[in-house]
Each structure stands twice: as structure tokens, then as C-alpha cells.
Amino acid sequence: MQIINPATEEVIGEVPEDTEASVQEKYRLLREGQPRWAALPVEERIGCIARFRDLLDKEKEVLADTLTSETGKPLRQSFNELTGARGRIQYFLDHSARWLAEEWVVTEGATREKIVYEPLGIIANISAWNYPYLVGVNVFIPALIGGNGVLYKPSEYATLTGLHIRRLLYLAGVPEGVFQVVTGKGKAGEWLLGLPLNGYFFTGSYRTGRAIAEKVAGKLVPCQLELGGKDPLYVMDDVDDIHAVAGATLEGVVYNNGQSCCAVERIYVHEKIYDAFVESYTAQLRKMVVGNPRDPTTDIGPLSRPGQREFLLQQIGDAVGKGARLLSGGKPLGGKGYFVEPAVLVDVDHGMKLMTEESFGPVVGIQRVKDDAEAVRLMADTEYGLTAAVYSKSYERAEQVMQQLNTGTVYWNCCDRVSATVPWSGRKHSGLGSTLSYQGIRAFVQPKAYHIRG
């Protein structure tokens, strides 16, 4: 399997793909090793993960360079991702022992009762390419701390990073019989689904997530899905600084080359400030630097996958063909690499794919609304339910909007952020289950009730 640099279209590596037999062998190793890992005190497992966290810092130069080479994200954002991953790991280090400890719920009377938390067993972690460290540590870190074995399949667009993760986990003391990497494309994922695993954790598209859920449903084991979004943002007419809000919104659209599940994908602006907001947003967009992701002045690098540029251009063409106006960008850049100019469109509506279909790139439509009620109606007009943001001077007014939105996360005066302390979850086509917070620790264990008499 060739690894392609999306900025240059050069082959930067070749990785052997797993076969069905090699996947079976890796599963066999985990079946042998996982019980011994689970028998260790949780403090010893936490110690291994603490060393892994430190290695991410020690080797950050190499890790960030690899990440930028195979995904195309600006180099400083690769460093940011590593910093964020270490922060999330620290949350698990600080809180896992508490949430995995046995709980005495009845301590008096004839029968005492307690709850203990046992590992699921061996789980599949089918991960994503856009944030391979951040979405990866959401799963394999609490899974390992909880005593599980992990079959980790990195995306074919982030395979070299996945191999770095394996190397550093082993160096940190995690046994080979506890963590195995499966390399390959869709076929490798299908082989994982055929194994008698104890849980399946996937990050990616709704279409693939649904297929996975259907495939493993008969096994009656946990199947957790972190899927996509079409995340809305609403700017109320009472904001104090339109220019600052436009800048924050732009960052939410284009960060990581627009390839974030919780990126801002559609914007609604109150008619009283609509023109001023659009003018500011467009002016700031035109200052964004698109180019070599290794250049420290670059804001936006290439898209990670070759077909995604054509998909975005089709969305833009559909919108323009239905009456939208393209104010800036929206064209492929000449030369090598999967580059596309960041784009903003106005005069948009929900008859256009741009406003209803996940984009996953630095492209957005801005729609005028007359009041909060219209904003709520349009924000809710989606099959997705990941995040939604409201900018307003008044929290009370913003809260009335946020309470009406069927999403796993809402933001007031911020957007496109994830915190380890609260659950990360999607609704509707955005997924099932939660990672992060104490719920993301308990997601990888199963409760056992003890009734103790005598």
C-alpha cells in the first residue's frame, strides 16, 4: 500500500497490507495477552500510558512531520494535535482509577451490594485520518487502561502515524499481546468485522458507520460510532464585535483544512447584521494563505484525499447553478497537490447540497435569517446532530436556541472544540455512544453486580 503526500502527490512510503490470515493471527495474540493485561493493577496500566504520553512529547518533531506528510495539515496544527492528545491522555491518567474502582452501593443490612467494572475483552478501533491522534486516544487509551486488548486499524490515509502509535505504545511498556495494528483499506476493516470481538468503535462517515452497525448487530456487543456532521452556527444581531465573531467563525470553518467532524459547515446570520458579517468574513477569508503545509505562514493545506476536491467543487457548482453567489475562492489550485481555494457562498438555501450534505472542506454557505425562530428551524433541518453554535451577547437568549437543538454538543460564543471533561457524542446520523469524560472511561468496561450475604 503506497502512502501519498497530498501536498506533492509523491509516494512517501510503502506499507505491507494485512491479509485475512495475518488479521486472524493478531487476534490470536490478543486473546492470549489480554487476560494477563486485565489482571494487572490499574495503576500499572496507567503507568504505561503515562510513559506513552511522555514519548509523544519527546518525539513530537518526528511525529508532527509524519502527520503533515501524510494528511496535509499545516505543520503547526500537527503540533497542536499532539499537544491536544497529550492533554486528553492526562485526563484519563487523572480520572480512570476513580471511575474504574469498585463501588459499594449498600454496606449495611443482611445483604451488601457492590458494582465492579470489568473489561469488555478485545475491541476493534477503526480510526480516522483527519485527527489520527485525537480521535485515536479517545478510544484506545481508555480501552487499554480499562484492561482491554485493542485491534487498531488506522485509516489508509494515516497509516504511518498509526505505526508510530504502535511503536511508542510498545516502547512505553504496553505488550504486543494487548495492542495490534491492522493495516490496509476497506477489506482489512471487513476482516475485523468478521472476528468475534467484544466491541467495535468506529470514527468516520455515516454511510460506513451504518454498514458496520448492520454487520455486527447480531453479535450483541457494544458498537459505538463517531460519525460526521453538518454543523450549524448562528450569529445573533446583538453581538458586540462582528469582525471578531466573523474571524472565529472562519477559523471554525477552515481549521485542519476544513476536515473536522465538528467544523462549521453552514452559517446563519440575523438580517440586521448580515451584510456587515459577510463583508468581514469574506475579507478575512481572502487573507488566508493556501499552500505548502510546512510553511509556517500557511493557514490551509491540501485536502487529504484526492476525490474530496472534486466533491467540494460539485457542491459549489450545484449551489451556483441554483442561484447562490460565490464571493470568494472555490477553485482548484494549479500544480501538484489536492489544493482548493477556501470558498464562501451567499444567497444559499436548503435546496442546495452545500447546506444539507456534509462537505468536509474549507467551504461554507452563509444564509440570512429574520429572527431566532427561523434560525432554529434551519439549524434543525438536518439528518445530523453533532454540534451547533450560537454567538450572542446574551447567554439567556442563546440558551433558548441551544435547548431546541437535537445535538450532542452546543457552543455559546465558541465553536469547533472538544474537551476531555465532557462527553463527545452524536445524535441521529452523527453517531451512537460517547467518548471522553467519565462516560468515555466507562464505555470500555462492563458492570458486574455483587450481592453479598453473610
Q: Report pLDDT digits (tens) over 298-328.
A: 999 999 998 999 999 999 999 999 999 999 9
Length of the chain, in residues: 454
What's phi and psi for 385, nearest 5 deg? -160, 55
Closest CA to 302 of 69, 7, 66: 7
223 counts as catalytic? no
- pLDDT at site 180: 98
pLDDT digits (tens, 9 = 90+) for 375-432: 999 999 999 999 999 999 999 999 999 999 999 999 999 999 999 999 999 999 999 9
Give the C-alpha separation, 256 to 206, whole Å.
20
pLDDT (tens digit, 9 = 90+) per residue, 253-308?
A: 999 999 999 999 999 999 999 999 999 999 999 999 999 999 999 999 999 998 99
Spatial distance between the Cα atoms of 360 and 322, rounded to a whole number of angstroms: 21
Q: Which of 226, 262, 358, 415 is catalytic?
A: 226
DSSP helix/strand/coil, 208 = helix
Contact 406, 385 (CB under 8 A): yes
State pLDDT tens for residues 370-390.
999 999 999 999 999 999 999
* List 223, 261, 262, 415, catalytic entry: 261
Three-class secondary structure of residue 145 per DSSP: helix
Tell me the pLDDT tens digit for each residue of 163-206. Answer: 999 999 999 999 999 999 999 999 999 999 999 999 999 999 99
Neighbours of 123 (CB within 10 A): 28
How do residues 107-129 score in pLDDT, each as one tens digit? 999 999 999 999 999 999 999 99
Q: Is 261 a catalytic residue?
A: yes
Residue type, 22: S
The per-residue pLDDT for 297 is 95
| pLDDT tier, 58 (very low <50, low <70, confident <90, very high otherwise) | very high
Residue 130 CA to residue 358 CA, distance in Å, equals 15
Q: Which residues contact 270 (CB under 8 A, 6 or more apart)?
A: 235, 236, 237, 369, 370, 371, 375
pLDDT at 60: 98
Please determine, for residue 334, whether its predicted confidence score (pLDDT) is greater than 90. Answer: no
Query: Rounded CA gap, 106 and 418, in Å?
Result: 36
